[in-house]
Structure 1
Amino acid sequence: MIDRRQIYQDFQAAFPKERLVKMTLTQYTNLERQNSFCYWVESKTYDLGSIWGGSSYKFGIYEYRNKPNKNDSRIVSNDKYAWYNKYDKQTADEAFAIVRSTIFKIAEHAGKGELEAIEKIDELGDAYKWKIAFLYSDETLIPVYKRDMLVKLASYFGMSVTNKTKISDLQRFLIEQKGEKDLFEFYEELLNIVNELDSSNMEHKIWLYAPGENASKWDVCLSQNIMCIGWDDMGNLLEYSSKKEMATKLQDIYGKPGSSFKNDSLALWEFAYEMQVGDIVIVKKGQNQIIGRGIVKSDYTFDDSFSDFKHVRKMQWTNVGEWETVGKNVQKTLTDITKQPDSVKSLEKLFENKSQKQYWWLVASPKIWSFSKTPVGEIQDYTLYNDSGNQRRVFQNFIDAKEGDVVIGYEATPVKQVVAIAEIAKSADGQKIYFKKIESLLNPVDYSVIKDIPGLSGMEFLKNKNGSFFKLTKDEYNILMKLIRGGNPMHNPQYSETIFLDNVFIKSDEYNKLRNLLLAKKNVILQGAPGVGKTYSARRLAYSIIGEEDRTKIEFIQFHQNYSYEDFVMGYKPKEDGGFELRRGVFYNFCRKAQSDPDKKYFFIIDEINRGNMSKIFGELLMLIEKDYRGEKHQIRLAYNDEYFFVPENLYIIGMMNTADRSLAMIDYALRRRFSFFDMVPGFDSDGFKKYQENLDCDAFNRVIDAIKALNVEIAKDDSLGKGFCIGHSYFCNQESIDDMWLGNVIEYDIAPMLREYWFDNDKKFKEETDKLLSLIK
């Protein structure tokens, strides 16, 4: 349930009336979407009556992101602000002085109940000024500001309304109808009346909508409760009088006078003019997926405070999920499918039973059972009565839960984290309820984060933690899922051996050797000269084994001479308020993550592994990383807290070391015994690099690559150097085209300094090889 009174009080705290006279232009309007007066009145207090729609002109003066139309005689602008021409002011500060004074007058009149005085104010538009009046009226006005809606409600209650009936008279009449009822409860009644009247008088349309390419704006739509489309350079769509005028503007914007822009102009026109409040919007992703459904809640507006996709309507999203469609979705951004009854019926059927889904918060006590250790897919029962035979607290929740409902799994003290997502597998049978764990959270969400989020302050669990099974509202669930998905994304791009060989320039048989070596040994070090792609290859090797680009299953760190056990495993660290606390290190945390998901592979990547003191960093865990000492049966007690700990069998370690670094001593035996070593060599002869070279089609590039390959032969033969000093291919990668300047810079500033270090005692050799390379591009 929306707490409208709390929103009202929050606004009063943010902009008390006494502060209005000192409000600055930046406080009034800015492009930061959280803190301006305008943003508060239009968006943050949206549930106190909507003034959504139209353009930013209604604010009198506003900061813009895109320059307003210079042909619009209503507006004057400078390089940052636009304001009403009717103010007859040359500067933004002068114009804002009028706006600020007007707002203060409205607030004063509202507080005194002087509605006729507000009626006479014409410096601001009606809806905007009446919402300001409500916000400073001490709840003596109705939070409805548009005349047509006020007329509709007044007529419903029996008022004889004419064109001359003033908004002040409509407000007074409706306040009389409220009687002794709470204002916001009465407002809820008014909204229901309007919805019923609208439903009986209008046949709503059904729209199929794409929120950006591959649904790229869907998260924004959900978080802001909006739908939005692009073509921002068009500006406010209400300034166009026809689809033809829109198409002409699109031709001008994109420099394509011969293109019809038929579909684009149709989408824009329909979004601004034909879509109506109450229409149904079904959201698509790609050709075969539906991801949501909602109801249009506002008129169109051009919101310049968004960085892109500024054409916006407010939405109430009723269904969020993923559903596969039988046929292919149309490719357009917006399509009216109202007259396609078979398609509409098929799509609406996807949401059957989904609209009745409920959301729950289940608390597990780690002393009794662990939500995090319960295997995914396992069905768990939960008794409706405690050990004393008494009903569990909020017993009705257990009765109301139905099969298919979503459950957020929370572990109580000492864990105090959301650790899993589950679903009700079977409704209560009188003695037990049954749920199935469907996902382990690799990155749990802390209670400390949840308790401080305003939108979750009304959670049953937060109000009274006594109990185990609590109801969540849809809004609460959406906020929690946004937190969860921030660290636990649902889908990752697929990644295969073929993609690896396209990205990483090594030969196919070498890839298979490396992959099999890592899986068998569990610990591998990639060694080679700078530029052979060790770091680049390590991540992609992990992705190729996982099968997708899942960053949650990879941890990347770099060793250095000061890296310690306290950083890596655990140790005491100073606190901000003084003293010390025991903190767990990156390897400890990653091992725990892998332990909680034993069926999946995890990869710990260490760059510059030979720069750290392995015995000092790993401590007692140096033995546990060995293949034969993995798993719980080999657990040992940690030095700092006597906790039993083991390195899981599904964790793989990939190290990287630079063989051309003369400053490092030989790698110690302890490290060498526990790792296999794989030589990374320049990939100039790999199929992937040859394909890359062929696509560039540059003679100078080809000559330089041939010379580098010949130079590598020289380096390999040099007794003071060897294969570990050969020049890698990565210096020449990731280019779509090549020119002589770029090639010269690579040779002069990347290759030459390396050759200088190689032949530091042979200036003639250094100069000879460098000049030879530079001569190839002259």
Structure 2
Amino acid sequence: METAITDIRCTWMDFYEELADRLLDFRDDRKELIDRLQKVFAAENLTLPKLDTYEVPADIDPFTVFGLFNKGLSDVNRKKVAAGLANEFHLAAPLPEAFVGIPTLNNLNATFYAFSGHPRRKEGDIDRLWTVFEAALAYADNPHEATETGFISAYDAVLHQFSISWKMTMGLYWIRPNVFANLDSRNRWFLGLPGNMPQNINNEIRSLKAVPEAAEYLALCSQILEAMNTGAYRYRTFPELSACAWLTSQKVNQQNKEREKEREKASQDNSLGDADIETVHYWLYSPGEGGEKWDEFFESGTMRLGWGKLENLNDYASKDDIRRALLAQYSDKTSQKKPALALWQFAHDVKPGDVVFAMRGRGELLGRGIVEDDYEYDEKGGYYPHLRHVKWTHKGDWHIDDKPAESVLAEVTDYTTLVNELCAFFDDAGGETETGEQPVDYPPYSPEDFLSEVYMDEATYDDLAGVLRSKKNIILQGAPGVGKTFAAKRLAYSMAGVKDPERVTMVQFHQSYSYEDFIEGFRPSADGFKLVKGSFYTFCKRAQNDSDKDYFFIIDEINRGNLSKIFGELFMLIENDKRGPKNKLQLLYSHELFYVPSNLYIIGMMNTADRSLAMLDYALRRRFAFFDLLPAFDSAGFVSYRNGLKSAKLNRLIECVVSLNEAIAQDETLGRGFCIGHSYFCGMDAEDVTDAKLSSIVEYELVPMLREYWFDNPSKSNEWADKLRRSIK
């Protein structure tokens, strides 16, 4: 670890800092800067990326120049661009030998500004980026009160521009890596892990919901530097920290790709995925035309795609770019949309750990494998230069009933019936065997994390978790917008102690939902009918096989289904004192003796403002605790969030809604179960709080609800609709 970090520190920092100094000379001559960038790419026989609406950008900022070689390119091309920049700008520093730990941009979002003509492009956006660039260099090289004040002013002026967000900290880190901390998603994840920083910094990092303003950002940089200077950690500088974060993430990815993460039912687990949680995706793949390359690819542990006239797919910024290249290289008259999609997904969407099913035609399954690494371009690959390494775990010849459309590459994650049928072949299949599973390091999630995301006080959370722990079944009931779904998932994670999507699943009840969907039932197949297991049965089996951990089954709109029909004989088995193998009942179709494990918790959700619903079955009501979720406009978390948006109109609108809720609560025909929740106003950044946004919330969400509430009293609904509209004028 230390050797790698030392190498990284010595091979890139001087180059980046010297490039930043040189770019500053072009602040007032950006046309010359753009001309030089064109020369760099032409000299290296590369295509200048699309940087504006026009073929040649009319203007550019210095951070976007750094982004030209700090995005999703191969290391070979990154070095080519860096070498071209060194030659064109006469840099003396040695070229970077490696890019480990240096943050990179998404190819599809690689500029620090909106393109010309974009509605979010504002006059002076690029000028302000140059200002913060110059101010950052001045502060980093000569920190004192005046340069700090200048930096704070310039930073805060660009923070809420379109396309900035966390990229601002990445750009600052590129130009002065010893002074400015990179806070991209990987570093925030790493800094938030216990033991990698003092607990107060762990907590502060995990609580960040948006890019901090300048004063808070500088204070956080100072805190992290101070902690590293104590010698308590294996990193002493920001570059060393970023390198450790990268190496740690690589180690986790290595564990992930070795672990078989198949699930018996892949149905709705993915709907619960968070941005920082890796989930398995399932792909169908044809190894050559008609499967002709299967034996070769199996032996070499690879999957390859053809279209050999196209070189490195990472050099294309979009599917359309790939499609245009295909049209230019191949003279047939097809649109090339399907091949372009397959090539793009092969390079960008297939992830290490994903499961691949090799197919011949539509109905013949040849084998199964797990993707091991990222896309590579193999210059010696001939017609099949586009490469991923795969650990093929099984090889054989199976015929499937649920025949998918024939495709070179297709994701089938959401086609749960097909995925279940394909996975079933390998429960007891012969062929290649698989290695033991490796645990996945999912992000930890504590009650403190819950309280940092959900607007609820600690005492209420303790009551909620305590009731669910003892009763095992709970229904979160509340008015529209109180965040029932948001809270339910995070409640499960906080009680599990980790953001593990395999231990949390969700279904939604509706009028057609049945026992056959929930437990088991016969479904049509090519040979007649076959018995298919339902979502609750499948999840119970998963929990039974992992009895040391808690599992959580979430039911949205629980009062919309015919509950007696859905639960059937399980009415008794879900009771907290009827759990476990000592309490088994025979299932209706399979006659299997079945029990609900004691480590499984059920969280239902119910909208109290839906008057079209019948009352809950009393037998079910006895088995669930009911917990009211109320609007949280006065909670400390929401007040802090609201204050951070700094919008007088939003404040007036919220105050009007609070008054409206008082009227609703006092109305004998409604009551507090019809109050309007806070989530209608959540998830916004300061730049999102526009007149159009607030008007949209009022006109298309709140006013229609009032008309439904007071359908028999239009004068009252009109009165409050007018008050809401006036509040944002």
TM range (shorter): 0.3 to 0.5
TM-score by length of 1: 0.45
Larger relative contact order (Cα-Cα within 8 Å, sequence gap ≥ 6)? 2
Q: Normalising by structure 2, report the TM-score.
A: 0.47
User: Which of these two proteins has the greater Rg computed from alpha carbons?
Assistant: 1
